[in-house]
Chain A
């Protein structure tokens, strides 16, 4: 009974501390909320929508030869008198209005300057002689795609579309080149036939990707259907684990602060066994982390729609995390002389080990890093907690999660035994 009294007293003090509440609840939810805000506008109806990309076009191919056959032969009802104008027309077409915000500028330097000054994200520069170069058998026509180097997704999409369009033109040219090669005695009627035939059979659909590729997202991302939740979930999970370990250590620090406040010594003068006193304090640590994790799991599910996984695997991960974070906190505090040293420990040791544990989350989406990231993260208990949570979220077999939870319990046992031994020696 006294054990529970001591535990409850410690928990009361913890939950009255604004500092503790901030680290336990406010910061994890704030950070995740920030990410939700960052990407929320990009998600509609369960899909990512890119914002319109600001594109400037500089067409300096002013004396381009007219297209043979005029505009009538151009698919998609586009109007252009030259190849350069065709490129501009494609970019300004109705099909592109959802994706692009196009403006025209007179020269290449102006176009590049607009990108440099962040007034546009991409500049397409059609050089002088572009059309002539394309018509020439022995030359290569090049279109310059000048982008803001800090951007990724948007320009990638534009580049891809532009490349596909260029390839479709290149295909015609190659077919024409083959026909020219095969033509006898300068009778180039074959060329026209080949081009005509080629254009007939290579009509691309609106979305060649859909026609030619059957795309499947990897199964591990399907635990959360909502793409926003897919982004937020690992971050929230990482934050939750990161701050669970903070809470474990901060709660265990109460042993040191009570010693400094002299209330620990006073407790020792009461008819309460020392083992009861220490057990009560340790129990408070465990219970505080349990409360924290439960609140965060529930809040993140309600606020961000995150699905953490099935009850049993999630429960195993929570137990493992609670045990390892609390016992690590006990162990760390058993090494400290006083609470003044705690500041350095919290800031340094916990943050560093927490970040190492989260490397796997940072490395998500970077395949060349993820293997290495996972290995590194497993040198600290936080890494195992992250691993367990990601396993639960990816609906991996319960056996896998159980194994991870068992490793966390081994960590816990080692920390707990060492920590308690040290405290017992200290207060013998």
Chain B
């Protein structure tokens, strides 16, 4: 059985089509990433799968239960880590965990024991009695994650959990995601950081403007762009918008002007570079930097959409 089976989901807000015909499957025990820039529809998809929103069309099965028809059953198997910190800041860490544990159906000694375990897992045992309002951003994020783990869910959704935190905390979170998988949990992870998706995921789906434009393993996705290198050239002065001369160079699969710099996909960067330099000289522009990247998700996104992932 698939952990999650998404079937042709649609969701609009007025005239904005936030999710358009998204379908994918998440296998049990894997980490599945939804990758895309801001506004791609990742959070809306998570909201649909956690039954916060009702789809306009389509359905999703979570552990075989429909989000449309059996929302309460779906919620029982889910843990959700929202993008924003969703905690009661005037309660302590322990009080937050106890309350949320109750909302997930835990009680009494089992709840108390589990609370202690989660505090240990997130490394906040010593600050358990402290008010959340006094915590640092990283600590709040840890409690935010801890709440989702209390009832030992089979599936956990994590919506951009590393946004706006320091590198060390980020590292901790990424390690903990891997640890969750090791414990047998299925993780649906959304991010706009290509490196995270690359590092963590067994499968990745790329979203853009509400549509799923590609999905597969990292290797499969990278193959979409072939074994292509991405070459980035910066110039002084900045390039004119007209790229006709550059496009004419053989070996260029795709070329875009990113704020006066050239971003090029090519199967063989070594062969291409001399021709690029020649054109630069003939047009009287000086190349100030050259970057050569092996194929990655950034390239894939660029290839599929013509835009950088971080646009």
Contacts and interface: CB of A to CB of B under 8 A. Distances in A.
Interface in B68-96: 72-73, 75-76, 78, 80, 82, 84-91, 95
A305 B269 CA distance: 93
Given A262-B82, A262-B84, A265-B52, A272 B90 contact: no
B100 A270 contact: yes
Interface string A259-294: 001110111111111000000000000000000000
Contacts of B90: 13, 16-17
Q: Range of interface residues on chain B?
A: 20 to 34
A12 interface: yes
A197 interface: no
Contact of A269 (B78, B85, B88, B89): B78
A2 B102 contact: yes
Interface in B97-147: 99-100, 102-105, 107, 147
Interface string B44-81: 00000011100000000000000000001101101010
Contacts of B95: 12
Contacts of A268: 51-52
A263 B88 contact: yes
A271 B86 contact: no
A280 B117 CA distance: 28
Contact of B86 (A1, A262, A273): A262
A265 B86 contact: yes
Majority secondary structure of chain A interface residues (helix, strand, loop or mixed): helix
A13 B104 contact: no
Contacts of A156: none
A62 interface: no
A5 B86 CA distance: 18
Contacts of A272: 103
Given A261-B88, A262-B86, A270 B104 contact: yes
Contacts, number: 59
Contact of A9 (B51, B80, B89, B99): B99
A13 B91 contact: yes
B72 A271 contact: yes
Contacts of B75: 269-271
B103 A5 contact: yes
Interface string A1-17: 11001100100110011
A273 B72 contact: yes
Nearest to A276: B103
Nearest to B51: A269
B86 A263 contact: yes
Nearest to A266: B86
A262 B99 CA distance: 15
Interface in A13-30: 13, 16-17
A261 B96 CA distance: 14
A263 B132 CA distance: 14
Nearest to A270: B103
Given A262-B86, A266-B147, A271-B73, 19 more contacts: A2-B103, A5-B99, A9-B91, A9-B99, A12-B91, A12-B95, A261-B86, A263-B88, A265-B82, A266-B80, A266-B82, A266-B100, A268-B51, A269-B50, A269-B78, A269-B80, A270-B100, A271-B103, A273-B72
Interface of A: 1-2, 5-6, 9, 12-13, 16-17, 261-263, 265-273
Complex A-B, nearest 8 residue pairs according to Cβ-Cβ distance, in ascending order? A262-B86, A270-B103, A271-B75, A266-B86, A269-B80, A271-B76, A5-B102, A269-B50
